[in-house]
Amino acid sequence: MNTEEPNLLFVRQAVEKYFASIDELERVLEGGSTYVYRFRSMTETFYARIMKEEESFAIEVKIHEMLIKSGVQVPKVVCFEHKNELLGLSFMIVEEIEGSCMESMSEKKDFEHILHQAGKQIALVNQIKVDGFGWVNRKVHHDLIGESDSFRGFYDELITTVISGLPQSGFTDTEMKVINDSLEMVFSNMNDTDAYLVHGDFDLTHIFCNKGRYTGIIDFGEIMGNSRFYDLAHFRFHTDFPKGINGMDALLNGYREIYKLTEKDIFDIDLLALFFGVWKLGKTLSRPNLYKYFLGKTKTQLERLR
């Protein structure tokens, strides 16, 4: 991974290749997999994104185009380069999605309505099939291909390693039985099933709204081929709602307008949320603060299943 942040002068020059006049070019802390810069041109705001690794935005650009055609409100790509000469990395510019993320909403009266709309939108994302499971291969520019042939193939090694260490993190024998049984049910559910496109980091920070109106979903930097319900499970695992807000129900009701969810599906979403938590514990073993966060969330999700 390229850990050195690009020279701001080079970023400006890359942007000025497409925009004759720009103002207020600044680095913003949005997106973990890319460097992100906000700038204004005339009266509009745009975002320049630069890949941190020597891979291309090409497949992400293709996904944005596919989603827009499907009716999903995502940022429109203005331009992109496989490898910018000045930056030495892949580069893209997208239009701004109006408003701000739901996490920053001060007025809660439209919270459930916005989540209902977001539920419909993420269901449209989750209808697109991917050839294989795991992170979408960014070295392939025209097809959506996951890095593993099967769900178990993508997860099994890390999950098995993490399970052996969970008792040292304070899980009881009874809790370990629930975890083991739940994870095996997830693996069983995913046998011989298709992989679908998922946002990969779907939560309130990536759902945008303005004046009580849903405006779109941002940041497809974590795209995967996975269970159709991965995004719902991710949202379930991470999201806490203001008192009196039935946020998960609102999201699911919107989803149902596109895809009919059964009672088994709802249970499977909770199973997958626990599975996700265990997987993330394995991914954050060397990062104590994040590990502590995922440990707490995993125990909360475990209680929902007991």
- Do 156 and 132 lie in a common domain? yes
CATH number for 219:
3.90.1200.10
Could you read off the pLDDT of 107-119 as tens digits, one per residue?
A: 788 999 999 999 9
Q: Are residues 276 and 192 in the same domain?
A: yes
Q: With contact defined as beta carbons under 8 Å apart, do 110 and 99 qualify? A: no
- CATH of residue 25's domain is 3.30.200.20
Of 95, 116, 150, which residue is a domain's last?
95
The residue type of 86 is L
pLDDT in tens for each of the 306 residues of the chain?
Answer: 455 789 999 999 999 999 988 988 999 976 567 899 999 998 899 999 999 888 999 999 999 999 999 999 999 999 999 999 999 999 999 999 999 999 988 778 899 999 999 999 999 999 999 999 999 999 999 999 999 999 999 999 999 999 988 988 889 999 999 999 999 999 999 998 999 999 999 999 999 999 999 999 999 989 999 999 999 999 999 999 888 889 999 999 999 999 999 999 999 999 999 999 999 999 999 999 999 999 999 999 999 998
Same-domain pairing of 70 and 105: no
* 282 belongs to a structural domain: yes
Looking at the structure, do residues 199 and 73 belong to the same domain, yes or no? no
| Secondary structure class of 35 (helix, strand, coil) | strand
CA 232/CA 123 separation, integer angstroms: 9
Question: Are 58 and 89 contained in the same domain?
Answer: yes
What is the spatial distance between Cα 22 and Cα 269, in angstroms, rounded to a whole number? 45
Q: Indicate if 144 and 278 belong to the same structural domain.
A: yes
Together in a domain, 210 and 122: yes
Q: Which tokens go with 275?
A: 């599975």
Domain extent, residue 59, equals 8-95
Q: Which residues contact 207 (CB under 8 A, 6 or more apart)?
A: 101, 102, 114, 115, 118, 214, 217
